[in-house]
Amino acid sequence: MATLCHSAHTRTFGKIGRRNAAKVLCSTQMPPSQSTIKVLTATSSEGKIWWYIEKVVIIGATKEIGRTAIAAVSKARGMELAGAIDSQCIGLDAGEISGMEEALEIPVLNDLTMVLGSIAQTRATGVVVDFSEPSTVYDNVKQAAAFGLNSVVYVPKIELDTVTELSAFCEKASMGCLVAPTLSIGSVLLQQAAIQASFHYNNVEIVESRPNPSDLPSQDAIQIANNITDLGQIYNREDMDSDNPARGQILGEDGVRVHSMVLPGLASSTSIHFSGPGEIYTLRHDVTNVQCLMPGLILAIRKVIRLKNLIYGLEKFL
């Protein structure tokens, strides 16, 4: 048994969104605008080293991921928290609600327009990070674009129709946006490795464990099944027609099965088991806490600022 993760080309939408996939395109990267603020960070015998300061606004700041993102952005080189937006904890300091040792002197507000307007007045480069709800994403991205800010959207339940609408808007407005089904680099690598392995094995089962029973199969399992669907392979031919509940749920039409375990206190885990004559090949990704999303978030913020339209999937930046 091997446990590996490595890179391979990944399809973004799979079967669920095939009709809309062609409308969501990756843009050519563009240089930052001339209004970007430059800050001297160090000097050496080789000359000056510069980096860009990015103003970051977080929508959904009081959620667990929002609080974690506040700390991550505040500590990241070349980034500065410029706003924390939420309907709860209004007036509280963003640093305090995120558990930081010192206050950031950035209060939680419920007025996105005011925050975006203040950034626009400074002519600084900015990014809006949206952890809100599917129903508000479109308006948030449009509002950010109106003030010249690109967006990173991590709202797992967002509909692909909304993504398509956002893609058309961003293309017309020449504004950048990343819509990320996941911000976990490990999850992206797991999916890419699964695609590569799927060309070599006839049997595959997805086994996931989650601490609570909501939304199963998970979006991760659905995305994996979509990614390895229609690649010219039919899986688990021996019992494709089995309707025994113990065999798990079939996702798609190619025989990919998923088994979801729910055990309170258990870390979230996703495993993909491939088998061939005389061998089992296993890919596994475990998540212990929301910190796993922060490296991907920081990468997304750094990269999205150069875009001029919408892309779907963090894998485009890896």
**The 3-state secondary structure of 147-203, one letter per residue:** CCCEEEECCCCCCHHHHHHHHHHHHHHCCCEEECCCCCHHHHHHHHHHHHHHCCCCE
Q: Given the DSSP bridges, would you call strands 38-44 and 47-52 parallel, antiparallel or unpaired?
A: antiparallel
Burial class (CB in 10 A: 0-12, 13-18, 19+), 263: exposed
Give Cα 227 to chain centroid, integer Å.
Answer: 16
Find the length of the chain: 318
On the question of pLDDT at 41 being above 60, the answer is no
- CATH code that applies to domain 185-287: 3.30.360.10
What pLDDT is attached to residue 52?
60
Least confident segment among 28-37, 89-98, 309-318: 28-37
**Banded pLDDT at 18 (limits 50, 70, 90):** very low
On the question of pLDDT at 24 being above 80, the answer is no
Mean pLDDT of the chain: 84
Bond into 156 cis (ω within 30): no
On the question of pLDDT at 197 being above 50, the answer is yes
What pLDDT is attached to residue 166?
97
Each residue's pLDDT tens digit, 223-262: 899 889 888 788 888 877 777 888 888 887 888 999 999 9
What pLDDT is attached to residue 237?
80
Q: Are 90 and 19 in contact (CB under 8 A)?
A: no
Give DSSP secondary structure letters for 49-63.
EEEE-EEEEEESTTS
Q: How many CB atoms sit inside 10 A of residue 112's CB?
A: 21
SS3 93: strand
Domain residue ranges in the chain: 54-179+292-312, 185-287
Each residue's pLDDT tens digit, 85-138: 999 999 999 999 999 999 999 999 999 999 999 999 988 889 999 999 999 999
Task: State the greatest distance between any 2 C-alpha atoms of the chain, in Å, as a whole number.
Answer: 70
Triad 286, 288, 289: Cα angle to 5°: 130
What pLDDT is attached to residue 231?
83
The DSSP H or E segment spanning 126 is strand 126-130
- 54-179+292-312 matches 185-287 in fold: no
- CATH code that applies to domain 54-179+292-312: 3.40.50.720
What pLDDT is attached to residue 274?
96
